[in-house]
Amino acid sequence: MFIIFEKGGLVMWPLLLTSVVALTVVVERFFFIIREKSRRNSGAVEKILEHAEKGQIDTAIEQGKMSSDFVARALTYGLTHREKSFSSALLQAANLELKRFNQGLPILDTIITLAPLLGLLGTVTGMIRAFGLLGHKELEAPTVITGGIAEALIATAFGLGIAILALIPFNYLNARLEEARHEIEDASTHLELLLRKPDRRFS
């Protein structure tokens, strides 16, 4: 491993750092997704909507406060802060919940872009090193020239590998973010429609 990094040049250490950061973010995010899935409780959301349909807003709020489901939390926040603007409260609640799902994704996005660029930098410096030896007496040692070319190839491969491996969980986490967005939007729209019925009153 250290031989590869030695051959890959100084740019390999920033690449190693980006790979460690990417791995840390991916592991943390997967634990977050697993935890949120274990907390899902569609029954709590249905009960909130059921109580809201009957006009029992306080009961719906109490039902929501007992649940750790992120959709239930968003609906409960909207009902709790309904006095000023119900729609704005729901939107704010949705943003707060989705912000939790979005954490770490900008870092992964940056690494996916940065890693190949660092690899390209390693390619350039490696080739400069190799061709810089042309015309010098070091040319008598072919291993020096090939070492510079190896530096270029190793850095490029490592950078692309990091980007490819980070892209897969990045797309998965983005899909989970959009899924959460749709679930909150659907429940919020349903709740708004229930409370806009002529025979419904906040209580």
For the chain, the domains span 2-195
Instruction: Give mean pLDDT, residues 174-196.
Output: 92
b/e burial code for range 142-165 (CB count within 10 A of at least 16 → b): eeebebbebbbbbbbebbeebbeb
Neighbouring CB atoms inside 10 A of 88's CB total 12
**Quick one: pLDDT at residue 1?**
44
Model pTM score: 0.81
Average pLDDT, the chain: 84
> Is residue 26 within 8 Å of residue 169, measured between CB atoms?
yes
Q: What is the mean pLDDT of residues 39-55?
A: 89
- Under 8 Å between Cβ of 31 and 103: no
Q: Where are the alpha helices (DSSP H) in the chain?
A: 2-8, 12-39, 42-53, 57-65, 70-80, 86-102, 105-132, 142-195
Grade residue 95 by pLDDT with cuts at 50, 70 and 90. very high
The predicted pLDDT at position 42 comes to 84
Check whether 52 has a pLDDT greater than 50: yes
Structure tokens at 75: 């609906």
* The predicted structure's pLDDT at residue 195: 81
pLDDT tens digits, one per residue of 3-18: 444 454 577 889 999 9
